[in-house]
Amino acid sequence: MKSTQKKTLLVVASILLVVWALVTVIPMYWMLVGSVQDSAMSASFKPQMIPEQLSLSPYERFFAKTDAWRWLYNSLLISIILTVTNVFFASLAGYAFAKLKFPGSQAVFWTLLGTMMIPAQVTLIPLYILMVNVFDLGDTYTAIILPAAVSVGNIFLMKQFMSTLPTSLIHAARIDACSEFGIFWKVILPMAKPGIAVLAIFTFVASWNEFFWPFLITNSNEMRTIQVGLASFVFAESTDFGAMMAGATIGALPMIILFFSLQRYFLQGITIGAVKG
Amino acid sequence: MQTALAPKPSAPRTSRAARFWRDYGWAYLFILAPVLLFLIFTLYPVLTALVMSFQKYNIMNSTWVGLDNYERLVKDETFWKSIKNTVIFTVGTVPVNILITFVLSYFIYQMKSKWQTFFKATMYLPAVASGVTISIVWLAIFDPTDSGLLNRFLSLFGLDPVIWLGQSGTALFSLILMNWLGSHGAGIILYLAAMGGIPKSLYEAADIDHASGWTQFSKITWPLLKPTTLYLLVTGVITSFQVFISVYLMTQGGPNFATTTIAYLIYETAFKFYEFGLASAQSFVLAIIIIVISVIQFKYFSSDIEY
């Protein structure tokens, strides 16, 4: 009785999972096949689920009509810088909050954490005025990068991770008269590599996919990131189905490749800090 | 004046300061950059926004208008409509998504580990695509002509094409539908990790007591997964209350304000009509709603959870 019950469950589960996996993947698949069929800009174009003829002309049109190379360059540059600053500052602060005792540490930490509930919309307008009118940094890399240089969520993540590291090595290094920064750099960072890898990957993907702030703060075509540029392209050109799908693919493909090459980190990484808050 | 010994009041104080610096200086240095960024890019903007919400704000001169902005909000039909839309969107998506995520995770958990990895990876995949990419793809899926993927699917059953995003009756539902069929990957991974953390001995003991599958599920699995459910609920509500990209790219809040959410309304008020004061007031209403809901969720859910 028990084993037949279990078998039925497995069969039902398998069928449902396969169906849902298809549902999940079909939009992505459709984007890809839509981007390799020549739509020739006709409004009546119907992309086929199984393409009869492959053509890269949608990509040619997308790159010809936009500054996509420049947008990709901007996105890559910004994402790399944000990954480095976030990893560095979040591990440094995470280490301080997890392992160093100092007056006010709890108060500062909880104040930071408490503001995570405040939605971004609240700070947006003053931040915009501050950047554009006070600092005169509108439409610059600095304005895109600075507010996102380190996030409270990442500090929290690193604190959670750092607190799992053994304290004995820190004491040993201190007895050996290693400076506090030396301890962080030579002892903590090497031990924290798995956590850092996860933080780096997630920050990189998030920075690459970020839309709203770069969208607000940039106004010249050359300063757009790929996401902002793509959005502007859709508004200007919503009849060229093929080029739209090519653009959508270009915006997502680097992250999809990253996902397949670093799958293990993606799938394990989410659980750091999230399970058991 | 009359004391023989010259007082050295500074000496012990300096040494205490020096000791303080030696003991804690590094720690403060380590948190300096994040704290500075926080002060400039979070705390200062929040306080400024609060002041601005009581002002008629211009770059040149701003005048204090007291509660005028908040009064305007309460009387503004579009604002109430945006709250209604946001609530419908949240209630329509978050519980359904948690249910889908839970069922999928529960089924994946029954699979062999090779298949677990396969399904986890497949279902996580869309989460690495940007909101812009997802919106563009769904714009094409919802295409109102019969070349749209969804309408083609309907035509298999002999149904007429639907103008998904272009009419007020279906526009908001379309955004909800897209959310249901979107990514549950992150939640699945969290649930699976939590399921793996439930001690096997609990189920063995339940088997000995001849507890039915449903009893095991309702007495062991579900309660022990409550922290994960709470996490997904809180983060889900916070994100869906701020839904923006899909609205901006797919419907522009229309037709006839059918998909105007609070976040989109704030954007329009601020950056289309340059009513910074009014937009700040709107954003504080949004913040208060989010904070109140989060606190209620924590109170209600965590009463019988041990962290």
* CB of A263 closer than 8 Å to CB of B121: yes
Provide the 8-state DSSP code for A150: S
Q: Quick check: A5 and B213 CB within 8 A?
A: yes
pTM over 0.95: no
Residues of B in contact with A95 (CB under 8 A): 30
* Stronger pLDDT, B146 or B39, i.e. the higher one: B39
User: DSSP for B233-252?
Assistant: HHHHHHHHHT--HHIIIIIT
Give me the helix-helix angle, A241-261 and A226-236, nearest 10°: 160
Q: What pLDDT score does B262 carry?
A: 94
Provide the 8-state DSSP code for A222: G
% of chain B surpassing 90 pLDDT:
51
Q: How large is the C-alpha radius of gyration of chain A?
A: 24
> What beta strand segments (E) does chain B contain?
55-56, 63-64
Q: In this model, does residue A54 exceed pLDDT 70?
A: yes
Q: Quick check: B128 and A108 CB within 8 A?
A: no
Across residues B48-69, what is the average pLDDT?
Answer: 85
* CB of B73 closer than 8 Å to CB of B54: no
Q: In this model, does residue A41 exceed pLDDT 70?
A: no
Q: In this model, does residue B9 exceed pLDDT 70?
A: no
* Stronger pLDDT, A46 or B217, i.e. the higher one: B217
Distance CA B35, CA A97 (A): 12
Q: In this model, does residue A103 exceed pLDDT 50?
A: yes
Identity of the residue numbered A12: V
Q: In angstroms, what separates the C-alpha of A71 from chain B's closest C-alpha? A: 14
Residues of A in contact with B131 (CB under 8 A): 209, 211, 227
Q: What pLDDT score does B147 carry?
A: 80
Q: In this model, does residue B158 exceed pLDDT 50?
A: yes
Distance CA A147, CA A129 (A): 13
Q: In this model, does residue A274 exceed pLDDT 70?
A: no
Averaged confidence pLDDT in chain A:
89
Distance CA A154, CA A91 (A): 8
Q: In this model, does residue B115 exceed pLDDT 80?
A: yes
What's the distance, CA A43 to chain centroid?
Answer: 34
* CB of B101 closer than 8 Å to CB of B188: yes
Q: What pLDDT score does A275 carry?
A: 47
Rounded to 5 degrees, what angle do the CA atoms B100, A265, A258 make?
90
What residues pair up with B56 in beta bridges, in sequence order?
A: B63
A273: pLDDT confidence band, cut at 50, 70 and 90?
A: low
* CB of A182 closer than 8 Å to CB of B30: no
Q: What pLDDT score does B133 carry?
A: 95
Across residues B59-67, what is the average pLDDT?
Answer: 81
A82-91, A96-105, A242-251, B1-10: the lowest-pLDDT one:
B1-10
* CB of B172 closer than 8 Å to CB of B88: yes
Q: Which tokens is A260 given?
A: 């397949």
Pick the residue of A3, A24, A203 with the most B CBs within 10 A to test the interface with B by mutation.
A24
What residues pair up with B63 in beta bridges, in sequence order?
A: B56
Q: In this model, does residue B1 exceed pLDDT 60?
A: no
A33-42, A146-155, B113-122, B239-248: the lowest-pLDDT one:
A33-42
pLDDT tens profile A179-191: 889 889 988 899 9
Return the residue matching tokens 């501050």. A130
Residues of A in contact with B116 (CB under 8 A): none
Q: In this model, does residue B6 exceed pLDDT 60?
A: no
Residues of B in contact with A232 (CB under 8 A): none
